[in-house]
Chains A and B, each alone.
Chain A
Amino acid sequence: MKGIVYILEHDFRNFFRYKWWLVGLISMNLADLFIMAVVYNNMISATVQNQIKSYFNFFAPGLAVTGLFASAFMIGREINMERRREVHHYMLSLPMTRLDLAIGRVLSGGLRGMLYMSPLLVTCFAFLGLPTFGQLLLILTVLFLLATGISGLSIVIAVSTTSLEKFITARGLVYYTLFFCSSVFYPLSLIQSLGKSGAFPPFLVTLAEINPLTSASDMIRSFLIPGYMVFSIDMVTNVLLFSAIFTLVAAFAYVEIIERK
């Protein structure tokens, strides 16, 4: 347990080394909300308008989730760099079990994501109103699970790729597929209607439906946007499954792959 705390401290110190990068990322996120979403508000079709009421309010929870995704993914870049520069030998020499090391890395990625996302979530609450205490607890729990799953996913990619370029390419592919095939930017019903009309491949529609980014964004919306959609337990189950799978796979892959010569 003590080992996990040391790893968390190590990774949080690293995280704050990128403070300028984080400020830039938050500025971009806020520009998306306060410029792009404000303009899109005046462009959306009447059908969508009836469904979501305001694009700005619709996008705010999605933005918190994208911020969480991007920051939780950063741990993968660091682990990939450690592997390339062979810092992982030092990590393996630390007086802690391999499991402590692996769990510490996955957890720190998730917690860093939560820390980065918090101002975006507060901005979302400031404009959409506060959830009840119970809803807040559920939102934070689901977002933490999501962040841990994303951190695990990034670690799996990081230890499976041998160069930064390959990592960046794989990350790009995962980023764009998960972002665009989700309800972060648009209601899920739009993707489903495109699927029904044959304009969108069915597997991408299914991906959008089970995508944890969709579940997390829609769960926040179900609490904060009256009449948009009803909360469903599936939203929590999707994220829980995603988190459990990638936390376990990441812990296993991290230990197995970095021990290889």
Chain B
Amino acid sequence: MQKPREAESEKETNKLLLVVERDVRLFFQYKFLVIMRAIWFVSQIALFGLIASRLINSAVVPDYFHYYVAGLSVMTLYSAAMFIGFDLYEEAEHGVFEYLLSLPVTRRQLVLGRSIGGGLRAFIYVGPLIAISLYVIGAVNPLNFALTLFSLFLFAFGVSGMSITIAVAIKSSDRFDILMGVLDALIVRLSTAMYPLAIVQSANPLYGGIASYNPVTFVADLFRWGTNIITLDNPLLPLLGVMIFFGTFTFIGIVIYDKRIEGGGWQ
């Protein structure tokens, strides 16, 4: 027989899982969006990746095609995980927020569940695309790739936590839209998603400095390390960076969501 405290804990976990499940289900309503992203992904590989690989000096990046495909997987995961912020505005516009607030779940369960749900659905969506990448890239070090997958999970949860944090903090869909556009432009381009860190640093030391601490850089490098495209002196350092990113945005997300979720003011 279960002890009352254990039963209570299980009940609370179930509530969290319900929030996660709802967000995962919600994502698959956007089937055309999913298809469009898949088209984008495949055309990036088959057209841009293939042609750009002829553009790049092989002394700088020996196999730019594989290098780019790995970076593309991380870029796609980032944009899929970011999408949860747009859901919050949809919910606010249609009055679903009030319904969510009336549910018998705590605010913390709600934000943690949404953060996990946002990351999980991004991962479910990107999973087949990562499988395509692995097929294209070929060789994988199983042990290293297991660590890479773990870091991708944390990264996806961190990004969806960041998206929720920003959406709830600014409460304006116009501002959110532009901020996401600018963030996407800067975070992805000022990272090693498309080029090696040494080249970014030689192009502009400021860009290199930002790219060195960018979570997209950490995950892109780990992905390439897991697929034997590059070697890393110490893979635990980028992993630590991803863990800090995940921890920060999950914690900040919970605190800000808790403080800002009530009182309306959504535009």
**Contacts from A to B (Cβ < 8 Å):** 20-21, 23-25, 27-28, 31-32, 35-36, 38-46, 48, 163, 165-166, 168-169, 172-173, 176-177, 180-181, 185-186, 190-191, 193-194, 199-200, 204
Contacts and interface: CB of A to CB of B under 8 A. Distances in A.
Nearest to B41: A176
**Chain B at the A interface: SS class:** helix
B48 interface: yes
B39 A176 contact: yes
Contacts of B40: 172, 176
B31 A43 contact: no
**Chain A at the B interface: SS class:** helix
Contacts of B129: none
Given A172-B36, A176-B43, A185 B48 contact: yes
Contacts of A163: 32
B47 A24 contact: no
B57 A38 contact: no
Contacts of B186: 31, 35
Contacts of B33: 165, 168
A45 B56 CA distance: 5
A31 B52 contact: no
Interface in B194-210: 194-195, 199-200, 202-204, 207
B52 A186 contact: yes
A35 B207 contact: yes
Contact of B47 (A36, A172, A181): A181
A24 B174 CA distance: 10
B35 interface: yes
Contacts of B181: 21, 24-25, 27-28
Contact of A20 (B47, B50, B174, B199): B174
